[in-house]
Chains A and B, each alone.
Chain A
Amino acid sequence: MFYREAGDYKTSYSADNQTFPIRFDRYRYYVVLFVSFLVIPFIINDYWASAIFLPFLIYAIAAIGLNILVGYCGQVSLGTGGFMAVGAYACYKLMTAFPEVNIFFHVLLAGGVTAIVCVLFGLPSLRIKGFYLAVATLAAQFFLVWLFNRVPWFYNYSASGQINAPERTVFGIEVTGPNTEAWAVYLFCLVFLVGSAIIARNLTRGMTGRKWMAIRDMDIAAEIIGVNPLTAKLSAFAVSGFFIGISGALFFSVYLGAVEVGEAFGINKSFLVLFMIIIGGLGSIFGSFAGAAFLVLLPVFLKNVLVGSLGWPTDTAAHFEFLIVGALIIVFLIAEPHGLAQLWRVAKEKLRLWPFPH
């Protein structure tokens, strides 16, 4: 009744090829955009921005990036934390070296730098496959974190070894530094997220995405039908690195403001983003959003319930949180290995048939 193609006549090729071919989907998409751009900025406050919206937006970008690599191209990567650190440090170096350039371009350039680094660490993927590759990407994680810790040039020889985001503005409104408004940083991140999602969605619908998926499903067969594994794999690494770099740059400059590399971009970050795409759904852009939202909301929710309502000590609650997150991941994998996106797909099928299921 709600969700069906019937009666929605396409009269041109562009209408037939649009991202959301079903009218209901399209309207839903417009409503979401409307709410996120024109409603939330007016009601957001500092707590909501820093506890929920900013982490969600930034992790969603990282999850889209990783999903392209793992979910679409099938190259398992555990180096996300390291690549985010590349984005953060590239952004920092650019911000301090060229203060007159708008930070918007710094973030984009940081994404570009990360893409190059990511391709470099993606080169072994041409020889190494499966778990061997997953472990090999850990090399990137440990090497990059060590590099940013030990080479003082990266943190401009500051005594603490930390990097601090200087104040920068977009259209005269501050987006980094201590005196930012919640709505400004929210919108700044949202623009990047929407841009990333649109690019990712269209890439994965087109020839590039089909090549990636062919490589994922069976790389030898893909090679035989004429997909060049070199360009397909490395382009996936590059695009993935670009998004992850952007999210790392935003994570440092807009969200945290000051970063110590081992703490902010450690191996746990890699696992967190990987969890997001597994719980959300491998090979689905919507899944990246769902997984990021789930894993950002869950700790906040657990903390509110356990510490806020039940009055447990914070450390006990923190241990319990680990236990719950671990258990939930296992339960999810058992109940629905294809993630939240699959639940959404099933729901859509049901809706399509809805009042007359037979």
Chain B
Amino acid sequence: MPVAFLNFMEVTMNGLMAGVLYALVALGFVLIYKASGIFNYAQGVMALFSALTLVGIMEGQVPFSHLINALLGTEIHHFGWHINAFFGILFTMVVMVGLAYCVQRFVFRHLVGQEPIILFMATIGLAYFMEGLGDLMWGSDIKTLAVGLPQGGSFAIEDLTATWAAEGERYYGMYIDQLDIVATVVAAILVIALVLFAQYTKQGRAMRAVADDHQAALSVGISLNFIWVLVWSLAGFVAIVAGVMWGAKSGVQFSLSLIALKALPVLMLGGFTSIPGAIVGGLIIGVGEKLFEYQFGPMLGGATENWFAYVLALLFLVFRPQGLFGEKIIERV
């Protein structure tokens, strides 16, 4: 095979795996949007918050230590214990469920029936709040997340692909990040688990009923409050997975919350209400932006990834305003 084609394949592979990570964040959006009509901008910050909490719990940091020290003049920072990754994730899940309950109880319960734009603004407020809370609780320095995920490129794939090039070509094999492979597998498992949950469990059915019609769901005895706490918790779990994957990739820091901005074009492309849409959209965006950067990036001055996804989604929407798999928008007067 010619080297150019192999490079093209490598870029595509990397794009697909980046796309899976985008899809992971987009999933959290879709879950909440379907069930409650809230466009949750805070999803990215939730990923950051969960990653911060995970690191904090694992390292045995004292929450709010900076604040306590500033107020009381003490010098405490750590409890002095370390917890392994499994229990750390378990505790983080508990925290995220608590957070989901609080969000529902103290914010959105009071905003039922408001216009979507007001709900959207409330989630931006929530994003600011959680950003401040996360930094205040755990400090704002960059942390490394050591949950035992493999790092660096995969030698097996590199060795295997190095032999594919035509004889006499200088080709050293494809660079595929091991972490990306793990992330892809985990994301696939998560999606399957979510689909099974939604299709076959009682709560999952109730969730779908709420997504279809609030009033009808209420009338057959489904508690809207419970379902909303449930979807916020599920979005919290998705956020933990996204936070762990992205956190292990690039360190737990503020920029982690910006992955929400990466997920928005994915949502536009796939449709706000469709789980398969989020996945397919994620893959298209991931491959598209990597290939575009590979082909045209050097010509245009690089860093086209910042906007390519948006422009692609924008152009796409002009022809199909509800996205790939979104429900058809029917307007009546």
Contacts and interface: CB of A to CB of B under 8 A. Distances in A.
A198 B157 CA distance: 67
Given A320-B132, A326-B131, A334-B110, A136 B317 contact: yes
B260 to A, nearest CB: 10
B135 A322 contact: yes
B122 A124 contact: no
B306 A319 contact: no
Nearest to B129: A326
B307 interface: yes
Contacts of B114: 333, 337
B94 interface: no
Interface stretch (B78-86, B189-197, B297-305): B297-305
Interface string B249-277: 00000000000010011011000100000
Contacts of B117: 70, 76
Contacts of B300: 150
A316 interface: yes
B311 interface: yes
Interface string A301-345: 000000000001101100111111111111001100100000000
B109 to A, nearest CB: 9
B333 A321 contact: no
Interface in B78-124: 107, 110-111, 114-118, 120-122, 124
B304 to A, nearest CB: 7
A326 B307 CA distance: 27
B318 interface: yes
Interface string A127-138: 111111011101
B6 interface: no
Contacts of B332: 220
A321 B121 contact: no
B329 interface: yes
A337 B39 CA distance: 17
A278 interface: yes
A298 to B, nearest CB: 12
A150 B303 contact: yes
A312 B71 CA distance: 8
A128 B122 contact: no
Contacts of A294: none
A200 B114 CA distance: 27
Contact of A218 (B126, B272, B333): B333
B310 A146 contact: no
Interface string B36-62: 000100000000000000000000000
B130 interface: yes
A323 B134 CA distance: 9
Interface residues of A, number: 49
A267 interface: yes
Interface in B113-172: 114-118, 120-122, 124-133, 135-136, 140
A124 B314 contact: yes
B122 A329 contact: yes
B39 A321 contact: no
A334 B107 CA distance: 8
Contacts of B9: none
A224 interface: yes
A32 interface: no
Contacts of A221: 333
Interface string A54-87: 0000000000000000100000100000000000
A315 B65 CA distance: 13
B38 to A, nearest CB: 11
Nearest to B117: A76
B247 interface: no
Given A316-B66, A333-B122, A135 B132 contact: no
The 4 closest A-B pairs by CB, nearest first: A326-B129, A322-B132, A323-B132, A326-B128
Interface of B: 39, 66-67, 70, 107, 110-111, 114-118, 120-122, 124-133, 135-136, 140, 261, 264-265, 267-268, 272, 300-304, 306-307, 310-311, 313-314, 317-318, 321-323, 329, 331-333
Given A139-B265, A316-B67, A330-B122, 11 more contacts: A127-B318, A128-B321, A135-B264, A139-B310, A146-B307, A319-B132, A320-B136, A322-B135, A325-B132, A327-B125, A329-B128
